[in-house]
Amino acid sequence: MKITLQGVYRYIESEAGSIRVLENINMTVEQGEFIAIMGPSGSGKSTLLYQIGCLDSPSFGHIFLDEVDISTEPESIREQIRLHHIGFIFQNYNLLPTLTVIENVMLPMQLANTFGKERRARAAALLRLVNLENKAEEKVMALSGGQQQRVAIARAMANNPGTILADEPTGNLDGKSGKEIMEVIHSIHENQKITLIMVTHDPKIASYADKIYYLDDGKLRSTVF
Amino acid sequence: MLIAFQLAVKNVYRKRERSLLTIIGVLLAVGSFISLLSLAEGLYARFAKEISGRKVDVYVLPPDAAALPTGPVGTIGFTSDVLSLELVKKLEGKEQFPDISSVCPIYRFPQKIGNQTILVWGLGEDKFPLFFPRFNLKPGSRMYSADAPEVVVGGNFAMARGINIDTPIVIEGQPFTTVGIGKPGESFADHFCYISLENAIKLKNAKGAQEIWIQLEKSVPATRKQVADAIKTAYPHLNVKTREEYLGSANEYVSYAWLMQFAIAAIGVLIALTAAMNTMLMSTYERVKEFGTLRSIGTSRFTVFFMIQVESLMLCFIGGIGGVVLGIMGSQLLNDAVMAVLQLSFPLAKITPSLIAYAFLLSGFVGIVAAIIPAIIVYKMNIIDALRWE
């Protein structure tokens, strides 16, 4: 999935007035590309990721997923885009604690009305991919942070999305677990040619990407290939 | 939508103690609702059955008398006015009212027998089978005589007091011999005693009848109305009612009781509603991040709205089912208490299918209303704010 941002601005209203979070962002992410967005805290990295992920809309400008301008689509369409075309990986894993590992992975498929047997088979295959096939029936809260993030990766891939967006995927993990997670993410990208956009402040983590963008005070400052 | 059900079930199970307390709150509200309203429902059902079970087309009452099929109870429906027996003769006269086939003057008075107060009815022994066609005497029984101190006892009352043929019963200080016992049944008539009109008037030193019941040649609503209007025209000071008007008037009295009981029950329902609303609100605020996650992976706003509604409805319906069971038991206890306090010889409370339907509607109402605010909060929630919620 090709992603194009054209003159994206994002302002947030606060008690102090209107705050500019993103300013004139122009970028293109080609199908199958792995990019990292780096920058200091408060630079607008996550906000940019949420604009691309249809969780928020730009104040001005356009965001295209292939040919579709998602910035003007109604919420009902954006829900469908999130469900079928985008997978999210969050820093805090954001799994549902009442569900088991496999139920968490099956959840997006269930929302997309995937047939029961197919759903279970695909979830099992995804858990094999992240080396958690033996934990399928366990409650997610019983897993370590690294394992939970692997469940989140499997969930993000559940509906075969064209794009995966990762917001500080190793931010809550120790160095060893973080490295393991990045290897899983990297191998998925290599094998499945999914477009991958990752926000991180860690240069080591960012080095897995094909291209790194630096964001500072809401502006795209530089690009490293 | 199935996913909304599955997640709702898991969330109800997640905080079991809190869910249980909410269920208990609804259970108590529904239970008290059913128990209290079963009294009025019982009266509605019994009045309708009683009036339709009698073969009376037109009722003639004194000006201020209330239409109550049980006769005066306490001060309700009591009037010192009576209808003269001359009037009975005039109504029976075919010249003035050719459509009337039979006239039955009635005199009723409460009488304490043992630890119960029952109604003693005075009416002509020849009229009894005509106007109470469903009252069947047991084998070996006979109807009382007009001038002898004889009594016929309703089957349920006889059974409760262990009364047999020849058992003496003291009425107004006079000994009466039981000559007839009815078969037990569900009618009010099965809970009363019957003596001749002459005896009733003599015992109470009355100057006439309290009510006059009339049967027509042709028992259809149009004729009833016609005859009632003719009697009203001839005797404008009297209170004349067709069978339909009599039932409507009796139901009006019950509706006051129904409203009063509903008002009391509504307090319990409001408390349960507040408790359920509090539970749903707390439970929603605890899970804001989860709702944000659900929305971020493509769950629609409607699905999360529906999920909260389902969760609340589940809690309230479980409470509703328990409440119906509790209500049935409570209704029996309340009935026994009311019978003991008012010294009634007949049961009042009745659990009707419509009452159970109301109870489930009430549970559903509590469920929907309790979840409406949390569901709207989640529906309108900004996904990013929800994901960052701590």
Q: What is the ipTM of this complex?
A: 0.94
Q: Any chain A CB within 8 A of the CB of B303? A: yes
Q: Looking at the partner chain, which of A90, A96, A111 has a beta carbon nearest the beta carbon of B298? A: A111
Most distant CA pair in chain B, distance: 93
Q: Looking at the partner chain, which of A53, A56, A96 has a beta carbon nearest the beta carbon of B293? A: A96
Total of domains in chain A: 1
Among residues A143, A59, A153, A56, the alpha carbon closest in space to that of A99 is found at A143
Q: What is the pLDDT of residue B28?
A: 93
Could you read off the pLDDT of A106-141 as tens digits, one per residue?
A: 999 999 999 989 999 999 999 999 999 999 999 999
* Positive or negative torsion for Cα B268, B271, B277, B279: negative
Q: Would you tell me how many other CB atoms lie within 10 Å of the CB of residue B300?
A: 19
Q: What is the pLDDT of residue B69?
A: 60
CB B118 within 8 A of CB B98: no
Among residues B193, B294, B21, B305, the alpha carbon closest in space to that of A95 is found at B294
Quickly state the pLDDT bin for A144 (edges 50, 70, 90): very high
Q: Would you tell me how many other CB atoms lie within 10 Å of the CB of residue A117?
A: 8
Instruction: Kindly state the tokens that stand for B273.
Output: 């509603």
Residue type (1 letter), B29: A
Query: A219 pLDDT exceeds 50?
Result: yes
Task: Answer whether B296 sits within 8 Å of A107, measured CB to CB.
Answer: no
Q: Any chain A CB within 8 A of the CB of B389? A: no
Which residues in chain B touch residue A84, judged by CB atoms under 8 angstroms apart?
298
Structural domain that includes position A184: 3-224
Q: Any chain A CB within 8 A of the CB of B1? A: no
3-state class (DSSP) for residue B83: strand
Among residues A85, A86, A83, A92, the alpha carbon closest in space to that of B299 is found at A83
Q: What is the pLDDT of residue B345?
A: 65
Task: Answer whether B294 sits within 8 Å of A83, measured CB to CB.
Answer: no
The HSE-up count of residue B117 (CA atoms within 13 Å, CB side) is 15
We report the CATH number of the domain holding residue A19 as 3.40.50.300
Could you read off the pLDDT of B194-215 as tens digits, one per residue?
A: 999 999 999 999 888 888 999 9
Q: Any chain B CB within 8 A of the CB of A79? A: yes
Chain A residue closest in CA terms to B13 = A98
Quickly state the pLDDT bin for A65 (edges 50, 70, 90): very high
Q: What is the pLDDT of residue B281?
A: 93
Q: What is the pLDDT of residue A39?
A: 92
Show the low-confidence residues of chain B (pLDDT under 50): 72-77
Q: d(Cα A163, Cα A195) in Å, to the nearest integer?
A: 5
Radius of gyration of chain A, Cα coordinates, nearest whole angstrom: 17
Q: d(Cα B216, Cα B339) in Å, to the nearest integer?
A: 36
Residue type (1 letter), B153: V
Which residues in chain B touch residue A155, judged by CB atoms under 8 angstroms apart?
297
Q: CA A155, A156, A162 angle in degrees (round to 5)?
A: 140
Q: What is the pLDDT of residue B76?
A: 46
Radius of gyration of chain B, Cα coordinates, nearest whole angstrom: 29
